[in-house]
Amino acid sequence: HVQLVESGGDSVQAGGSLRLTCDAIGYPYNSDNCMAWFRQAPGKKREGVAALSIVEDRPYYADSVEGRFTIAHDNAKNTLYLQMNSLKPEDTAMYYCAADYVYSGDWYRRDKYRYWGRGTQVTVS
């Protein structure tokens, strides 16, 4: 039974930082995996923010967060992180952790992921 549990969301001022955490319980972290962060603002579609391709050992980022956000994984804890710096009001959204055997070129496609967390709210004012 796979569970993805996010935490770390909060309300911060513009320019601030947050680190989101996703505990991947019962999820096999291996070379075929892709783990990702998505976000969804009210009235908008869920969009890919960042992903980590295990087989390529490289991250992928949406243009809107490139240079400000960093995705990382702790193999020992099987925990995914999203370090968010220089936050902007437009980063306000519910942030979700996702995981599956996804081709890296499809990392941003939410329809490719079967496993999702319940989300953690980030509000930037």
Mind listing the pLDDT tens digit for each residue in 2-37?
Answer: 899 999 999 999 999 999 999 999 888 776 789 999
Mind listing the pLDDT tens digit for each residue in 30-87?
Answer: 767 899 999 999 999 999 999 998 778 799 999 999 999 999 998 888 899 999 999 9
Task: Say what the pLDDT of residue 31 is.
Answer: 62
Average pLDDT of the residues of the chain: 94
Q: For residues 53 and 59, what is the distance between their CA atoms, to the nearest angstrom?
A: 6
Tell me the CB-side half-sphere exposure of residue 50, using CA atoms within 13 A. 21
